[in-house]
Amino acid sequence: MTDMAELRRLGATEIRVSPVGLGCWQFSGGRGLIGGYWEALSRDRIREIVATSLAGGVNWFDTAEAYGGGVSEESLSAALRALGKQPGEVVVATKWWPVLRTAGSITRTIDERLERLGGGPIDLHQIHNPFSLSRIPAEMAAMAELVEEGKIRAVGVSNYSTGMMRRAHRALARRGIPLASNQVHYSLLHRKADRSGLIQAAKELQVSIIAYSPLAQGILTGRHHEDPGLIRSRPGPRKRMPAFRPRGLERSRPLVEALREIGGVHGATPAQVALSWLLGFHGETVLVIPGASRPDQVEENLGALRVTLGEEEMDRLDRLSRP
């Protein structure tokens, strides 16, 4: 169980979250281009996953408008209500979908977000990606308006480059509001955030980095190296990704073998070591939101909090994972 002493501050806000949250993309009901990436989970299974997360000390959940067109938001809200959680008892993050929309859509759609999530305010509202028809200052002005109206508590972005993140930070600062977070693809197999200077800039600006796909869609569990045919039984387009093909698995094999070896020293799985590295290599800057389609996956992910890697182990994984 995560106690208050182990919670991390979300950026420069007063919101405190567990180092491991739960990504809720897989609660999309299998709907839409984005939601179809996962099989549809039953309401009972979703409730079990959320219950296991809460029991293990998770106090925040990340969803999005684009995950099944709001299905993930509704599924998460229903599970929390069924478990006796009222709005405000846990931290809920969601995201506005910007593609082919302008900043005005942020304020026009907020009531739908609040309704699907069962009330408000929303703890963290994020711009899902930078591909809207409006400029960053206009989007941040709309987000600031929602903060001032009390509909959201904090503002985040997602998939923003270093320069974009700095522009968002400046725009919000003019309204006296911190940029809380930047949610990006980050794992030991995806180190762009390091190469681009994004992590260093986040430290400078006091912005939390929220790592999505922290296990590289399951590659860092090592299971696909043990059984390369496993991916054929998985739903969605993952089976067509180069990383899951024989050549891709051979490229990642040395890193996975190191994760397995280090895990043997700590009584941990490769996945737990991979998550522990993300949570420790940059101090408290990085938070992780692995998804889970079964309760036992939640338990394995939370086991990363019991793993403390030594400096030499972290440096070894750093060297192996750099391109």
Long-range contacts of 137-142 (CB under 8 A, 24+ apart): 137/167, 137/171, 138/102, 138/103, 139/98, 139/103, 139/106, 139/168, 140/168, 140/171, 140/172, 140/175, 141/103, 141/171, 141/175, 142/103, 142/104, 142/106, 142/107
Residues 72/78, Cβ–Cβ less than 8 Å: no
- Which helix (H) or strand (E) segment is 149 a member of? helix 136-149
Residues 160/199, Cβ–Cβ less than 8 Å: no
- Percent of the chain past pLDDT 90, that is, above it, reads 81
Catalytic residue flag (residue 67): yes
**Cα(33)–Cα(11) distance, rounded to whole angstroms?**
31
Q: Distances from the Cα of 289 to the Cαs of 60, 167, 206, 293, 314, in angstroms?
A: 9, 25, 19, 13, 20
Torsion angle in degrees (nearest 10) through CA of 202, 113, 33, 37? 70
- Mean pLDDT calculated for residue range 50-60: 98
pLDDT digits (tens, 9 = 90+) for 184-206: 999 999 999 999 999 999 999 99
Torsion angle in degrees (nearest 10) through CA of 310, 312, 316, 322? 90
Which listed residue (37, 67, 160, 212) is catalytic?
67
**Cα(249)–Cα(229) distance, rounded to whole angstroms?**
11
| Nearest partner of 306 among 57, 4, 52, judged by Cα | 57
- What phi-psi label fits residue 21: left (phi over 0), alpha (psi between -120 and 50 degrees) or beta? beta
Is the model's pTM score more than 0.75? yes
Number of domains the chain contains: 1
Residues 190/158, Cβ–Cβ less than 8 Å: no
The domain in which residue 163 lies consists of: 4-321
- Mean pLDDT calculated for residue range 26-44: 79
Q: What is the CATH number of the domain that holds 240?
A: 3.20.20.100
Residue 9, strand partner residues: 16
User: φ, ψ for residue 308 (rounded to 5)?
Assistant: -115, 110
- Mean pLDDT calculated for residue range 52-80: 97
Q: Residue 98 half-sphere exposure, CB side, CA atoms within 13 Å? A: 24
| Nearest partner of 281 among 307, 263, 260, judged by Cα | 307
Provide the token pair at 67. 């995950």
pLDDT digits (tens, 9 = 90+) for 72-104: 999 999 999 999 999 899 999 999 999 999 999
| Nearest partner of 289 among 298, 281, 127, 180, judged by Cα | 298
pLDDT digits (tens, 9 = 90+) for 235-277: 555 555 666 666 767 788 889 999 999 999 999 999 999 999 9
Q: Quick one: pLDDT band at residue 5, thresholds 50, 70, 90?
A: very low
What is the residue-averaged pLDDT of the chain?
Answer: 92
- Find where tokens 């693809």 sit: 185
- Which helix (H) or strand (E) segment is 173 a member of? helix 162-173
Torsion angle in degrees (nearest 10) through CA of 290, 292, 295, 300? -40
pLDDT value at position 236? 57
Q: Quick one: pLDDT band at residue 4, thresholds 50, 70, 90?
A: very low
**Cα(115)–Cα(242) distance, rounded to whole angstroms?**
39
